[in-house]
């Protein structure tokens, strides 16, 4: 890995996948025993929480407002 001019490094895809790191995750670099560690920021939103926050309130189209779950499923399945 190389440090770029902005002080950034790229975590290899295999390591990101292995440790469940995704774009937008909050991480910290801490010094521990003379080494640097990359750790998730405690209390930071998970990827799922960010997605839910982003999507919340977007499913209120007039056509489906007030429909029951069964009615929505029927609409989605094309029954």
pLDDT at 32: 94
What CA–CA distance (Å, rounded) separates 37 from 31? 6
Tell me if 64 sits within 8 A of 72, measured CB to CB: yes
| Cα→Cα distances 16→5, 10, 75, Å | 22, 10, 38
Q: pLDDT, tens digit, for every residue of 25-72? A: 889 999 999 999 999 888 777 777 778 888 887 766 667 778 888 888
Residue 50: φ, ψ to 5°: -65, -40
What CA–CA distance (Å, rounded) separates 19 from 17? 5
pTM for the complete prediction? 0.53
What CA–CA distance (Å, rounded) separates 60 from 71? 15
């Amino acid at each position: 890995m190389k440090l770029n001019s902005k002080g950034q490094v790229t975590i290899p895809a295999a390591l990101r996948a292995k440790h469940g790191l995704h774009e937008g995750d909050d991480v910290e670099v801490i010094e521990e025993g003379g080494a640097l560690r990359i750790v998730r920021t405690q209390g930071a939103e998970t990827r799922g929480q960010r997605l839910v926050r982003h999507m919340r309130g977007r499913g209120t189209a007039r056509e489906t407002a007030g429909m029951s779950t069964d009615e929505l499923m029927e609409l989605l399945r094309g029954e």
